[in-house]
Amino acid sequence: MKIKTKLLLFIGGTLVILLILGFGALIKLVTTEVSKELDGQLESQTEIITTQVSDLITTSAKSYLISMGESVLKNSITLNELYLRGEITKEQSRSFFISSLNKQYFLNSGYIFTTDNNGRIVSHPSENKVGTISPMQAWIIRQSNSDKTFKEYEEDGQNKIVYRVYDENFDLNICISASTKDFLEAVDLYELNNSLNSIKIGKTGFPFLLDF
């Protein structure tokens, strides 16, 4: 084989190898960038989905607790009217009212307790907590009678949400509390599904939730 032919074969072979290596490096670079871009999009969409689900749970929780609060106040008005008509005493109306609250449980962990304006617990399903200081005492003290507010707090390792409304008939702060995770049961699944369906990831990607 002539030297010229060998040289051409060597140069040609070297170029082929360099092209293969360069093409491989390019593919790796492109793949890495695409992967980074996809990871960024997925992370961004996951944050959006998490926020939407969290907001929906919070909205459902607040609606549920407000409804409970309205029911409690109606019961208070009914018992107070019985007292005003002289059918029962003031003490009896208060006793009936507190007894009804102590029996109301909802979802998995929901219950109702009451406090005075100093944050001391007046009634609670657990009798050993009556007379103790509420875990959200400072918050309760800051509320005016017209306030209808919510607060998230920690108790027994669980994140909870409480709705507080003032009952003027018996001069009590009505506190309706439950673990936030319980309100997954109260979420409007149709609305949640519509929210998720509005989210697209790339051309064919979509989010979905799994129940464990």
For residue range 122-170, what is the model confidence (pLDDT) as tens digits?
999 999 999 999 888 899 999 998 888 898 888 778 888 899 999 999 9
Q: What is the mean pLDDT of residues 47-62?
A: 72
CA distance 114 to 35: 55
Model pLDDT, residue 82? 94
For residue range 27-40, what is the model confidence (pLDDT) as tens digits?
666 566 656 666 66
Q: CA-CA distances (angstroms) from residue 53 to 2, 25, 29?
A: 75, 41, 36
Higher pLDDT, 61 or 185: 61
Q: Residues of the chain with pLDDT > 70: what percent?
A: 61
DSSP line for the chain:
--HHHHHHHHHHHHHHHHHHHHHHHHHHHHHHHHHHHHHHHHHHHHHHHHHHHHHHHHHHHHHHHHHHHHHHHHHHHHHHHHHHTTSS-HHHHHHHHHHHHHT-EETTTEEEEEE-TTSBEEE-SSGGGTTSBPTTHHHHHH--TT--EEEEEEETTEEEEEEEEEETTTTEEEEEEEEGGGGGGGS-HHHHHHHHHT--BTTTB-------
pTM above 0.85, yes or no: no
Are 199 and 45 within 8 A, CB to CB?
yes
Are 201 and 184 within 8 A, CB to CB?
no
Higher pLDDT, 54 or 67: 67
Q: Report residue 134 as tokens.
A: 């509420």
Model pLDDT, residue 181? 81
Model pLDDT, residue 12? 57
What are the b/e assignments for 62-82, b being 16+ CB within 10 Å? Answer: eebbeebbeebbebbeebbee
pLDDT at position 4 over 60: no
Q: Report residue 176 as tokens.
A: 């309706």
